[in-house]
Structure 1
């Protein structure tokens, strides 16, 4: 079964909807529905995409 965050790839920038204070993070890996993101204010965080939908951030 695929999750809605299968498109997240290393290098992409994302925000956590419940923790805007973490800032915009960079995806490090996306393996089996677990995305590791390096946030400037929280460090590396592993997020289960079945529980949290990360918000992609695109530069204008």
Structure 2
């Protein structure tokens, strides 16, 4: 699922729901940099973590 991520997309970290929503800053290979609202900037190893895209309308839920 990480292969569809592009800068600007909104995601959730499945193992860290308290981090809130995150905006993808960049994706280079398996390295995904995300700026989370309650955690700040985090570099994710896409081989280990599959981020969950948030589609329009889901963010309010």
What is the TM-score when the length of structure 2 is the normalising length?
0.89
- Mapped to 1, the partners of 2:39 and 2:26 lie a distance apart of 17
- SS of the aligned residue for 2:18 comes to helix
2:22 maps to 1:25: yes
CA deviations over 1:19-39 (Å, ceiling 9, x no partner): 000001000000011000000
Q: Which residue of 2 aligns with 1:37?
A: 34
CA deviations over 1:8-57 (Å, ceiling 9, x no partner): 00000000000000001000000011000000100000000000000000
What is the TM-score when the length of structure 1 is the normalising length?
0.90
Instruction: Give the paired residue count.
Output: 57
